[in-house]
Amino acid sequence: MEHMASAEEGGYRWIKHVVSTEKAVLMIEQENKLQFVVDVRATKRDIKNEIERMFNAAVKRVNTMITAKGEKKAIVQFEDEGKAKEIATSLGIM
């Protein structure tokens, strides 16, 4: 999670933090997807561009939803197989 805090200081404005629930970890392993809590004003394009800059990885798809807590969650699928697991490992999730 320290990576997220330093990323904010480096000019990243849409991504708040990564989600590391059991369900999120299953998505990493099975679907090559990472989940992030993002700014509610962020568009899918904003999220895609920021994730690609943060992790130097091509994003295939971004799905967003508003949670029951009123937070916006983004589910990001990566182009390269295994990229989500590689990023999760570098962030200390796995």
Taking only the tens place, the pLDDT of each residue in 71-91 is 999 999 999 999 999 999 999
Determine contact, residues 71/37, Cβ cutoff 8 Å.
yes
- 52-66: pLDDT as tens digits: 999 999 999 999 999
The pLDDT tens digits of the residues spanning 2-20 come to: 344 434 445 679 999 999 9
pLDDT at 10: 55
- The pLDDT, as a whole number, for residue 11 is 66
**Number of separate domains in the chain:** 1
Residue 39 belongs to domain with CATH number: 3.30.70.330
* pLDDT band at 94; cut points 50, 70, 90: confident
Element (H, E) at 46: helix 44-55
Domain span at residue 75 reads 2-91
Helix axes 2-9, 83-91, angle to 10 degrees: 90
**SS3 assignment, position 92:** coil
